[in-house]
Amino acid sequence: MVNKTRTILTLLGLTIGIFTIISVLTVFDSLERSMRKGIESLGSNVVFIQKWPWAMGGNNYPWWKYYQRPEPTMKDLREIQKRSTAAEGAAMFIDVSRTVHYLSNRVEDVNVMAITHDFGKIMPMEIAGGRYFTPIESNSGKSVIILGATIAENLFNTLEPVGRKVKVFNQKLEVIGVLKKEGEDLFGGGSDEQVIIPMNYARTVLDIKNMGTTIVVRAKPYITNQELIDELTGVVRSIHKLKPSADNDFAINETDIITQSFDQLFKIIAIVGWIIGGFSLIVGGFGIANIMFVSVRERTNIIGIQKSLGAKNFFILIQFLFEAIFLSLIGGGVGLLLVLAGSYAGTQILGFEILLTWNKIIIGIATSSVIGLIAGYVPALMASRLDPVEAMRMNA
């Protein structure tokens, strides 16, 4: 009983180590997958013309350099559409947060996106019910709206939303479409938790000049992002009548900036996870080594008998190494089962898919095996070098 308890407590360190490392790798692998899904939905051949450059600088972000810059305007958009030869299309959008009402039902802090008509061509939307804006609705600024799937469910429950009227900005807007449900990603509910209105309607109820307008531009299929950025830089500088020596008063952002920033963050967190889990693995490794030393001492005469019957040193070495690796795999296996259970529980509770992939399982098994091999080598070597006569006398 004492030996079993000692073994369990010893393997606990290895279990905790594997659980910590694989949990961190699994969670951030899932986050990265979700992040890339969200970014891919924006499009890899799309750039965003804005007042502010994207950066992950935190407190080091030089906001004062960009504060006085002008917001992109409808004139900028029209000129880009007219002059750019590298762009397949261009559109403008803004995001504001408002409450959406239907009778007594309401959803607060809804992301209301106002878009120009071509936005639907540049960033395609899947409509589950109803339709997209017509050119006349977009150009005339008609009071129509497209709902995200979650917003539609919260406002209408089982009712058909299309054709009914919701209230936003204290104005009634007719629902003409409902977006297909996408599910959550790293950036939240995505299109599920937003509503979309025509830009020209938004201009009648909002002062869009100071609301963070963005011009989104998609490159033609044979044009690289850099070629598009180079051309747009010249076009916008010309529109703004900037002198050759003047700095740009705009930023052209692309999704690669987000990817690179998150990649660096994930690498740092993965390293931290390995360091934290590494301490537990070291403790577990010393524990397995201790168990193996005790095992060699308790089985000294058996080793002597095996060697007297012709067992080679290599056979004894492999025997104890396999035993150490087996013990290590038990500890690691329990850790992997805990990660699997945690992944399932996290997915159910958070509504965010956390998936333990095969490559993470292989990493867990390989790490456990290596720890067992290292921890068991010295005891196994000591056992293999025992003199058979002396070994049989020890416990006689």
CB 179, CB 125: distance < 8 Å = yes
What pLDDT shows up at residue 229? 92
| Weakest mean pLDDT among 47-51, 93-97, 384-388 | 384-388
In the chain, what percentage of residues exceed pLDDT 90?
Answer: 33
**pLDDT value, residue 357:** 84
The pLDDT assigned to 4 comes to 66
- Torsion-angle region of residue 380: left (phi > 0), alpha (psi -120 to 50) or beta? alpha
- Residue 241 φ/ψ region, left for φ over 0, alpha for ψ in the -120 to 50 degree band, beta for the rest: left
DSSP string across 66-118: TTTSPPP-HHHHHHHHHH-SSEEEEEEEEEEEEEEEETTEEEEEEEEEEE-TT
Helices (H), strands (E): how many in the chain?
12, 10
pLDDT above 50: residue 1: no
Answer whether 380's CB lies under 8 Å from 316's CB. Answer: yes
pLDDT of 112: 94
Task: Print burial letters for 267-293: b (CB count within 10 Å at least 16), e (below 16).
Answer: eeebeebbeebeebbeebbebbbebbe
**Are residues 166 and 100 in contact, defined by beta-carbon separation less than 8 angstroms?**
yes
- Please give the residue that has the higher pLDDT: either 267 or 252: 252
pLDDT at 18 over 90: no
Q: Structural domain boundaries of the chain?
A: 2-37+260-394, 45-253
If pLDDT is split at 50, 70 and 90, which confidence band does 9 have?
A: low
What is the rounded average pLDDT for all residues in the chain?
84
Q: Does residue 265 register a pLDDT over 80?
A: no
Q: How many residues does the chain have?
A: 396
pLDDT of 345 strictly over 80? yes
- Between CA 188 and CA 28 the distance in angstroms is 16
Residue 36 has pLDDT above 90, yes or no: no
| Per-residue confidence band for 2, with pLDDT thresholds at 50, 70 and 90 | very low
- What is the pLDDT averaged over residues 268-289? 80
Among the listed residues 124, 125, 85, the one whose alpha carbon sits nearest the alpha carbon of residue 219: 85
With beta carbons less than 8 A apart as the criterion, state whether 380 and 315 touch: no
Tell me the three state secondary structure of residue 219. Answer: strand
Average of pLDDT values for 312-318? 84
Written as one string, the DSSP assignment of 170-210 is TEEEEEEEEEPP---BTTBSGGGGEEEEEHHHHHHHS-GGG
Split at pLDDT 50, 70, 90, the class of 281 is confident
Site of tokens 């070597």:
381
Task: Find the range with the poorest average confidence among 122-136, 179-193, 296-310.
Answer: 179-193
Measured on CA atoms in the order 204, 205, 207, 211, is the torsion positive or negative?
A: negative
Res 273: pLDDT: 74
Question: Is pLDDT at 178 greater than 90 in this prediction?
Answer: yes
